Amino acid sequence: MTRKIGVIGSGHVGSTVAHYIVAAGFADELVMIDKNEAKVVSDAVDLRDAMPNLPFHTNITVNDYSALKDADVIISAMGNIKLQSSEASDRFAELPFTSEQVKSISEKIKESGFNGVIVDISNPCDVITSFYQKYTGLPKNQVIGTGTLLDSARMLREVSEELHVDPKSVHGYNLGEHGNSQFTAWSTVSVFDKPITEIAKETDLDLAALDDGARKGGFKVFSGKQYTNYGVATAAVRLANVVLNNSLTVLPVSNYQPDLDVYLSYPAVVGRKGIVKRVPLSLTDEEQAKLQNSADFIKANLKKYSE
């Protein structure tokens, strides 16, 4: 079966996504789309130049929305990072731009006949993911945002560096908005299968500082190079592969929560058709309140830009 992925947006993140897909041989066909034709054409040529030195071959199509009809996954990486301020970390700075772009892009996706899974990276992730579902008309389970899959990874890194262990030995989730109202659900976090709350009681581990570090991880990267790309691109490609492989993996991604009536990050089983089912967590009362606060914040901004 041919594996086909579309990448919309060929900026810092989109081009990194495309390179990872091609270099690792994750797709047989790649469709690259960007309004800046010179940039996306150049990226495509550059990737083709890489192929003679790779053990894989990927057929690349440029700026053809009709080619998305039989794609398995579309990754949305469109955005305008220049709207982000070097003085503060606020992904909503891009919303006036991305909320307009998502309308025209969704219409073209709809016209192509695409019926796969959309993976949204574009910021603010939860709001734009919701808009993609609204404007494409795809079932809610087929529209997903990377959400706190990246923030959870940042939390795992923060904890692993503090405890001097491999981050893959740390398990747990950041939940809610991919933004400033997100939080680490410490009740879900363990290190070598030992609850981190127990470790914190036995040591001087500062959970509040680790939570803050995970939340501000993106801005730390942004402040040094004025964009982020590797972390979020890896999260997006991992999510795309979970869909392609129907691996039924539990991931903290932005998905529609019926009880909260909003898209936000919460663990879900992901497979070939996107979200298979939500994975219930036993959150503390404090964590549940933080989740509700995050949901309210996202909904308020959805309402503002839907009017």
Q: Which of residues 145, 179, 211 is at a domain's end?
A: 145
Give the number of other CB atoms < 10 A from CB of residue 4.
23
Q: Are residues 153 and 72 in the same domain?
A: no
Q: How confident is the model at residue 198 (pLDDT cuts 50, 70, 90)?
A: very high
Q: Do 274 and 166 belong to one domain?
A: yes
Tell me the pLDDT tens digit for each residue of 93-133.
Answer: 788 889 999 999 999 999 999 999 999 999 999 999 999 99
The whole-model pTM stands at 0.96
CATH of the domain at 65: 3.40.50.720
pLDDT in tens, 253-281: 999 999 999 999 999 999 999 999 999 99
Q: Within this chain, do residues 169 and 284 fall inside the same structural domain, yes or no?
A: yes
| DSSP 8-class letter at 7 | E
Does position 91 have pLDDT exceeding 80, yes or no?
Answer: no
The count of domains in the chain is 2
Residue 270, domain extent: 148-306
Q: How crowded is residue 104: how many other Cβ atoms within 10 Å of its Cβ?
A: 11
Exposure of 300 by Cβ count < 10 A (0-12 exposed, 13-18 middle, 19+ buried)?
exposed
Residue 211 sits in a domain of what CATH number?
Answer: 3.90.110.10
Contact 65, 33 (CB under 8 A): yes
Quick one: 258 and 124 in the same domain? no
Asked whether residue 137 falls in the same domain as residue 213, the answer is no
Three state DSSP letters for 16-82: HHHHHHHHHCCCCEEEEECCCHHHHHHHHHHHHHHHHHCCCCCEEEECCHHHHCCCCEEEECCCCHH
pLDDT at position 56: 96
Same domain flag for 68 and 170: no
Mean pLDDT value across residues 7-28: 98
Report the alpha-carbon distance of residue 159 to residue 165 in Å, rounded.
Answer: 8
The amino acid occupying position 17 is: V
pLDDT at 12: 96
Whether residues 129 and 238 fall in one domain = no
Q: Are residues 54 and 196 in the same domain?
A: no
Q: Are residues 161 and 119 in the same domain?
A: no
pLDDT tier at 89 (50, 70, 90 boundaries)?
A: low
Q: What distance in Å separates the CA atoms of residue 21 and residue 5, rounded to the nearest whole number?
A: 9
Examine the fold and report which residue of 145, 166, 201 is the final residue of a domain before the chain moves on: 145
Section 15-31 average pLDDT = 98
Query: Is 191's pLDDT higher than 90?
Result: yes
Residue 66 has pLDDT above 90, yes or no: yes
The mean per-residue pLDDT over the stretch 132-153 comes to 98
The side-by-side arrangement of strands in the sheet containing 29-33 is: 59-62, 29-33, 4-8, 73-76, 117-120, 143-145, 249-257, 262-271, 274-278
Residues 164 and 291 in one domain: yes
Domain finish residue from 119, 145, 171:
145
Residue 85 pLDDT > 70, yes or no?
A: no
pLDDT at 138 over 60: yes
Lowest mean pLDDT among 74-78, 97-101, 239-243, 286-290: 97-101
36 and 90 both lie in a single domain? yes
Instruction: Check residue 304 and give its pLDDT.
Output: 76
Taking 80 as the threshold, does the pLDDT of residue 307 lie above it? no
Give the mean model confidence (pLDDT) for residues 144-164: 98
Which residues have a catalytic role annotated? 178
In terms of pLDDT, which residue wins out, 220 or 256? 256
**Rounded to whole angstroms, how far apart are CA atoms 217 and 153?**
10
What pLDDT is attached to residue 219?
Answer: 87
* Mean confidence (pLDDT) of the chain: 95
Are 92 and 301 contacting, i.e. CB atoms less than 8 angstroms apart? yes
User: Is pLDDT larger for residue 84 or for residue 255?
Assistant: 255
Claim to verify: residue 124 and residue 158 sit in the same structural domain: no
